[in-house]
């Protein structure tokens, strides 16, 4: 009878290892469960652990048919793809629930089963079902999460893996939930800062389009009747020409705008193009400062969270590079990674990149000297979160009068252009 080595979670959520003799892997799992433990890895003694193989086959088989429940789930997955996307807020809630259950003393399997019963999102429910099945057949939680890259990114999977290796799964999940909450909070603040100017600009475009398409052509007819062959003032003629272009050449203008957007998309697919677009974003007037501070806060918080959770620094830098969301930051992180790989400290390449302010360089240098780099990175992130708050408040107060002045200049120019010929007409009538 073969001997199986296993790793399992006991009733207190602690990992236990040992061996058991059984006729098959399923029988070994049954024996371990009878002892009140939930197996996370079961394999024949001396066998190498492989990510694919039989485990992958066992993990896929139940998905093909367990009667009505599985078929109903498949029917739900035929919904449009935008309905099946897991939003950051939904994943944040999912992670917070799992962290709370494990922290309360429930074993991992029991926690996942509790979440499975109350989860309503079809994609998360299906993923959780497969995660439970993979763990039951001897896989780890990180391996199971890695099979769903659309939901759990590399940052998520590697932090869970570090939590499993260190036996601090509840702590890591808490950090993950806090990380996602703060990232979502920053994202919401940036979006809220942009809502007001977008709404005002939309209203301004609507008003100007109405004046150009409806009002100005009527005035043009009046001026033709009253002035005859007399020429119009320069400003008035310019406004009339713009009105004619907007009213009679709408389709070519729309095609130009669409072509411009498509060109940006195509350019953004290439590395040089994406780098150029992201560089311009970081140096854009008004919003460039906000985006730059947001990117720095994300970089430091992600790196600090990974290192605090026990992820090796080189692996953490690779994850930060792939999840930065900005090609300029990604290239800077890649340079930092190469320098650290050669045995250098992190502060010099951060300074040489020219992307990060002197304050970040100084605090990283202090963190390396004192051996508290992860904590220092988290402090930098908190500091930049506060700066994002202040920047959002400042931008909101600046943008409001700027947009009002902009709209007043546009509308005022149109009104003046329409009144200049009227003044000439009134003067000629008086003579």
Listing DSSP states for 340-399 in one string gives HHTT--SHHHHHHHS-S-HHHHHHHHHHHHHT-HHHHHHHHHHHHHHHHHHHHHHHHHHH
Give the pLDDT confidence of 207-240 residue by residue, as tens digits.
888 888 888 888 878 877 776 666 778 888 888 8
pLDDT for 17 equals 84
Q: At what angle do helices 313-322 and 287-308 cross, to 10 degrees?
A: 150
- Mark residue 148 as left, alpha or beta (left: phi above 0; alpha: psi -120 to 50; beta: remaining): beta
Give the pLDDT confidence of 387-425 residue by residue, as tens digits.
888 887 787 778 778 888 888 888 888 888 888 887 777
Least confident of 61-70, 260-269, 337-346: 61-70
Percentage with pLDDT > 70 across the chain: 86
Task: Give the SS3 label for residue 22.
Answer: coil
pLDDT band of 9, cuts 50, 70, 90:
low
The arithmetic mean of pLDDT across residues 353-369, rounded, is 89
The whole-chain average pLDDT of the chain stands at 79
pLDDT for 392 equals 79
pLDDT for 228 equals 64
pLDDT of 79 strictly over 70: no
pLDDT band of 10, cuts 50, 70, 90:
low
What is the rounded CA–CA span in Å between residue 89 and residue 146? 20
pLDDT for 60 equals 39
pLDDT band of 258, cuts 50, 70, 90:
very high
Task: Give the SS3 label for residue 3.
Answer: strand
- Which residues make beta-bridge pairs with 21? 3
Q: Out of 23-32, 125-134, 318-327, give the one with best mean pLDDT.
A: 125-134
Cβ–Cβ < 8 Å for 39, 139: no
What is the rounded CA–CA span in Å between residue 182 and residue 298? 9
pLDDT of 318 strictly over 50: yes
Give the pLDDT confidence of 12-65 residue by residue, as tens digits.
556 678 888 887 777 787 788 778 776 667 778 765 444 444 333 333 334 444
pLDDT for 49 equals 41
pLDDT for 428 equals 67
Q: What are phi and psi of 7, to 5 degrees?
A: -125, 135
pLDDT for 230 equals 66
417 CB-contact burial (10 Å; exposed 0-12 / middle 13-18 / buried 19+): buried
User: What pTM, to 2 d.p., does this model score?
Assistant: 0.61
Residue bearing the bigger pLDDT, 170 or 91: 91
User: Residue 16 belongs to what H/E stretch?
Assistant: strand 15-21
Find the length of the chain: 431
pLDDT for 376 equals 92
């Amino acid at each position: 009878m073969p001997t199986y080595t296993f790793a399992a979670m006991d009733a207190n959520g602690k990992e236990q290892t040992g061996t058991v003799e059984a006729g098959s892997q399923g029988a070994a799992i049954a024996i371990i469960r009878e002892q009140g433990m939930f197996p996370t890895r079961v394999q024949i003694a001396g066998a190498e652990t492989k990510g694919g193989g039989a485990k992958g086959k066992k993990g896929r088989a139940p998905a093909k048919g367990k009667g009505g429940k599985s078929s109903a789930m498949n029917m739900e997955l035929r919904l449009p793809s935008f309905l099946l996307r897991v939003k950051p807020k939904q994943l944040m809630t999912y992670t917070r629930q799992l962290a709370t259950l494990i922290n309360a003393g429930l074993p991992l399997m029991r926690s996942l089963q509790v979440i499975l019963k109350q989860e309503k999102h079809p994609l998360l429910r299906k993923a959780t079902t497969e995660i439970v099945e993979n763990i039951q057949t001897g896989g780890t939680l990180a391996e199971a999460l890695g099979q769903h890259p659309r939901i759990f990114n590399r940052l998520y999977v590697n932090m869970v893996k570090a939590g499993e290796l260190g036996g601090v799964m509840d702590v890591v999940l808490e950090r993950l939930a806090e990380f996602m909450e703060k990232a979502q909070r920053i994202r919401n603040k940036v979006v809220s800062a942009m809502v007001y100017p977008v709404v005002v600009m939309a209203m301004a475009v609507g008003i100007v389009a109405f004046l150009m398409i409806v009002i100005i052509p009527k005035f043009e007819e009046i001026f033709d009747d009253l002035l005859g062959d007399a020429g119009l003032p320069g400003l008035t003629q310019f406004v009339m020409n713009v009105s004619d272009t907007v009213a009679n050449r709408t389709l070519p203008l729309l095609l130009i705008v669409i072509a411009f957007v498509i060109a940006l998309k195509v350019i953004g697919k290439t590395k040089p193009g994406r780098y150029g677009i992201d560089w311009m974003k970081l140096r854009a007037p008004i919003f460039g400062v906000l985006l730059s501070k947001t990117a720095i806060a994300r970089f430091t918080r992600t790196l600090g969270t990974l290192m605090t959770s026990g992820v090796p620094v080189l692996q953490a830098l690779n994850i930060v590079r792939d999840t930065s969301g900005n090609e300029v930051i990604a290239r800077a992180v890649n340079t930092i990674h190469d320098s650290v790989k050669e045995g250098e400290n992190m502060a010099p390449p951060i300074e040489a990149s020219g992307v990060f302010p002197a304050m970040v360089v100084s605090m990283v240098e202090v963190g390396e000297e004192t051996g508290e780099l992860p904590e220092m990175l988290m402090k930098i992130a908190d500091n930049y979160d506060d700066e994002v708050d202040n920047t959002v408040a400042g931008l909101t107060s600046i943008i409001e009068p700027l947009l009002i002045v902009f709209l007043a200049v546009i509308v005022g120019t149109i009104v003046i252009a329409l009144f200049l010929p009227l003044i000439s007409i009134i003067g000629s009538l008086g003579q």
